[in-house]
Amino acid sequence: MKYIKIIAVFFIAMSCKEKKETVVPETDNSSITYPILEGASIAANSEALWDIVSKEAKIEILAEGHYWTEGPLWVEQQQMLLYTDIPRNAIYVWKEGKEAEVYLEPSGFLGENFTGGEPGANGLLLDSEGALVLCQHGERRMAKMNSTLDAPKPSYTALVAEYNQKRFNSPNDAAYRNNGDLYFTDPPYGLPERMDDPAKELDFQGVYRLDTEGELTLLTKEFTRPNGIAFSLDSKQLYVANSDPEQAIWKVFEIKEDGTLGSGKLFYDATDLVGTEKGLPDGLKVDRNGNIFATGPGGVFIFTPEGEVLGKIKTGRATSNCAFNADKSVLFITADSYILRVKLTE
């Protein structure tokens, strides 16, 4: 996530913004030309980048006017993009040629009078049966929406909410391994006072696995702010982002036969970029060739599986997460108040 100029300062500012309406041109024409994000660019460190994204690729604005966007998820059957606005405690839906609109609310906090800035759902994903699974900040749990995708209702079933009878901090991002196990991160961003919140029951920020039998395992508590999470193409490695301005890194872990993690190694360190460009290591996804698209300072890094930076999609905004369409020919990006799109080389 989740996000962060300097984490607390950023979200105080975001939660104090004047509420705006989501804006895109009103039309049903699927050939609409969307506006281009001012000041954005694509910067190459290697000529190999242009095999992934064209030099002429545009960074399009699909929607704007949100407080803080996150959790992009492409749903192929409905041809729709779901994403969250965490401070608004809502999930939105965007479809080609149509205005983005509220899809589901409340999304992450079901009570009243949440005192922090991040009550809503964060990461979104689909389980093996096509049900919507949510990282619910406010409820501090992993949950599943009970209704179908074409008739969403704010009714949820908790998948897991505690570790050793202590409530999670605020599950942030998640990914399913190819065997059906659910891996997720649990930083403190959904807690009103974050690290010092009296409601914080765990004295660490963990990465967990919920297996297909419902058994929960703590995989590591070495991260200060575990955030984005994704698997290599063969599901033998796990990438984890750490959104700590003092240790803005990504690590990669070998996954053992029992699903637990071997010792991790540094994948990339962006700490020296903190403060010079907006954002921190956050969400990440893996493309069809094993390259890693990872949001971080300045926008979206594009890494080879070996950790070489091929280039960056520079949004000029604090950039939270990204997601591909079904054939991974399009990248959707959540950046500050925007929903963005970049068409990739097919």
The whole-angstrom separation of Cα 147 and Cα 232 is 31
Reported confidence tier of residue 22, pLDDT bands at 50, 70, 90: very low
Q: Give me the residue label for tokens 């009970």.
A: 146
The whole-angstrom separation of Cα 36 and Cα 192 is 35
DSSP 261-303: EEEEEEEEE-GGGBTTBS--S--EEE-TTS-EEEEETTEEEEE
Q: Does residue 237 register a pLDDT over 70? A: yes
Confirm whether 339 is domain-assigned: yes
Give φ, ψ of 224 to 5 degrees: -80, -35
Average pLDDT rounded to a whole number, residues 113-121: 90
The whole-angstrom separation of Cα 345 and Cα 141 is 37
The whole-angstrom separation of Cα 335 and Cα 40 is 11
Reported confidence tier of residue 346, pLDDT bands at 50, 70, 90: low
Domain coverage including residue 174: 7-17+34-343
pLDDT of 193: 80
Reported confidence tier of residue 39, pLDDT bands at 50, 70, 90: very high
What would the pLDDT profile of 240-297 be if each residue is shown by its tens digit?
999 999 999 999 999 999 999 998 999 999 999 999 999 999 999 999 999 999 999 9
Confirm whether 22 is domain-assigned: no
Q: Does residue 314 register a pLDDT over 90? A: yes
Average pLDDT rounded to a whole number, residues 206-228: 98
Q: What is the CATH number of the domain that holds 60?
A: 2.120.10.30
Number of domains in the chain: 1
Confirm whether 26 is domain-assigned: no
Q: Give the closest residue to 196 by CA, choosing from 116, 82, 125.
A: 116
Q: Does residue 198 register a pLDDT over 90? A: no
**What percentage of residues in the chain have a pLDDT greater than 70?**
91
Confirm whether 2 is domain-assigned: no
Confirm whether 28 is domain-assigned: no
The whole-angstrom separation of Cα 290 and Cα 204 is 31
The whole-angstrom separation of Cα 213 and Cα 87 is 33
The whole-angstrom separation of Cα 56 and Cα 189 is 37
Confirm whether 29 is domain-assigned: no
Give the count of beta carbons closer than 10 Å to the beta carbon of residue 122. Answer: 31
* pTM listed for this prediction: 0.91
Confirm whether 299 is domain-assigned: yes
What would the pLDDT profile of 76-114 be if each residue is shown by its tens digit?
999 999 999 999 999 999 999 999 999 999 999 999 989
Q: Does residue 10 register a pLDDT over 90? A: no
pLDDT of 185: 98
Bridge partners of residue 43, in order along the sequence? 312
**Among positive and negative, which fits the CA dihedral 95, 280, 286, 154?**
negative
